[in-house]
């Protein structure tokens, strides 16, 4: 699903398989972290490689795992929105229906 490897003390690569991650989730993830970390993406047939480099501190395994989890969270959020977005819209419609009368 998702693999990562630490290149050196300040950079690593996350390989996000296209089977599991849509471009929107990868874009959201990279946008979120780009103000703290240097980010480059490389697209191949079956995955997107995300190279992340720290500007001011060492990368360790815990940080890498947290960023991988953040990428997964972005995809899960999009999946839930796609599956349940209509329910949210109905709740909002109902909540504001009394103010429209």
Distance CA 63, CA 66 (A): 5
How many distinct structural domains can be found in the chain? 1
Q: Is the pLDDT of residue 47 over 90?
A: yes
Residue 8: domain span: 2-100
CATH number of 34's domain: 3.30.1360
Q: Is the pLDDT of residue 53 over 70?
A: yes
- Summarised one tens digit per residue, pLDDT across range 4-38 is 888 888 899 999 999 999 999 999 999 999 998 99
The least confident of 10-14, 44-48, 49-53, 92-96 is 92-96
Closest among 81, 83, 75 to 21, alpha carbons compared = 75
Rounded average pLDDT over 59-75: 90
For residue 77, count other CB atoms closer than 10 A to its CB. 12
Output the pTM of the full model. 0.79
């Amino acid at each position: 699903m998702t693999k990562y490897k630490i290149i050196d003390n300040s950079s690593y690569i996350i390989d996000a398989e296209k089977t599991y991650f849509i471009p929107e989730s990868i874009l959201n993830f990279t946008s979120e972290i780009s103000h703290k970390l240097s980010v480059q993406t490389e697209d191949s047939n079956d995955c997107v490689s995300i190279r992340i480099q720290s500007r001011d501190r060492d990368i360790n395994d815990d940080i890498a795992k947290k960023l991988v989890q953040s990428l997964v969270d972005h995809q899960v959020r999009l999946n839930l929105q796609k599956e349940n977005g209509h329910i949210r819209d109905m709740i909002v419609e109902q909540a504001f229906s009394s103010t429209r009368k």
